[in-house]
Structure 1
Amino acid sequence: MPDLEASISIFPERDANPHHEEARRESRLWINQFNKTVYGPKMRTFMDNCNFELINTFCYPYANKYGLRATMDLHNILWLYDEFTDTESGKGAYKSATVVYRALHDPKFDDGSWLCLMMKDFKTNHIDLAGPDTARRFIDHFCSYVELVGKEAELREERKVLDIQGYIALRRETSAVRTCFDLVEYCLGINLPQDIHDDPVFIGGYNAAMDLIYWANDLYSYNMEQAKGHSGANVVTAAVDFLGGYFELLLYQWQTARDTLALRSSEKYANAVRVLDAYGDWVRGNIVWSFTTERYFGTQNSEIRKTRRVVLRRPFEQSVHLTE
Structure 2
Amino acid sequence: MRSFAIAALREPPFSSLRHDDTERVAGESADWAQSLGLISNGHRLRRADAAGLAGRACPQAPLDGLRLLTDLISWLFVMDDACDEDGLGSDPTRLAPAVADLLDVLDNQRGRVPVPARAAGPLAPALADLCRRIRAHRRPAVLLRFTAGMREYLLALLWEAANREHDRIPPVAEYVQLRRHTGAVYPSLTLTDLASNGFPPAARRAEPGWATLESLVVDLVCWCNDVFSYRKEHRVRPDAHNLITVLTRELGDESLALRAAADRFNERLGAYLSTEQRLLVTHGDAVRPALAARRNWIRATYDWSRAAERYA
State the TM-score bracket (shorter-chain normalisation).
0.7 to 0.9
Deviations 1:83-122 (A, max 9, x none): 1123121222222111111112213523254222111111
Deviates more, 1:104-113 or 1:229-238: 104-113
Shift of 1:130: 6.0
Query: Counterpart in 2 of 1:316?
Result: none
Over 3 Å counting, the alpha-carbon distance change for 1:293 and 1:130 in structure 2 is farther
Match of 2:260 among 226, 242, 248: 242
Question: Which consecutive residues of structure 1, in runs of 5 or more, have no partner in the other structure?
Answer: 298-324
Residue of structure 2 in register with 1:282 after alignment = 297
**What is the CA-CA distance between 1:289 and the residue it aligns to?**
1.0
Q: What residue is the counterpart of 2:46 in the other structure?
A: 48
Partner of 2:10 in structure 1? Answer: 7
Q: Counterpart in 2 of 1:57? A: 55
Percent identity, please. 20
Amino acid at match of 1:155: N
Partner of 1:118: 126
In the alignment, the residues of structure 2 paired with residue 31 and residue 137 of structure 1 have an alpha-carbon distance, to the nearest angstrom, of 24
Would you say the 8 A contact 1:258–1:273 is kept in 2?
Answer: no
Q: What per-residue deviation string (whole Å, max 9, x for no partner) do you get for residues 284-324 of structure 1?
A: 11111112221101xxxxxxxxxxxxxxxxxxxxxxxxxxx
Q: Equivalent residues in 2 for 1:127-146 (5 A)? A: 127-129=135-137, 131-146=139-154
**Partner amino acid, structure 2, of 1:213:** V
Partner SS state of residue 233, structure 1: coil
Gaps of 5+ in 2: 249-256
TM normalised by structure 1 equals 0.82
Asked whether the 8 Å contact 2:9–2:266 carries over to 1, the reply is: no
C-alpha change, 1:295 and 1:165, in structure 2 (3 Å) is: same
Cα distance in 2 for residues equivalent to 1:151 and 1:281: 29
Q: Which amino acid aligns with 2:103?
A: Y
Number of corresponding residues = 289
2:66 maps to which of 65, 68, 78 = 68
Q: Spell out, residue by residue over 1:267-296, the C-alpha distance to the aligned partner (whole angstroms, 9 max, x if none).
A: xx6343321221111111111111222110
Give 2:100's match in structure 1, choosing from 98, 101, 124: 98
Task: Identify the match of residue 260 of structure 1 among 274, 278, 286.
Answer: 278
Alpha-carbon deviation of 1:163? 1.9
Question: Once superposed, what is the RMSD of the aligned Cα atoms?
Answer: 2.1
Structure 1 segment 146-185 matched on structure 2, within 5 A: 146-185=154-193
Q: How far off is 1:4 after superposition?
A: 6.3
Instruction: Give the SS at the match of 2:309.
Output: coil
Give the 3 Å change call, closer, same or farther, for CA 230–70 of structure 1 in structure 2. farther
Task: State TM-score, norm by structure 2.
Answer: 0.85
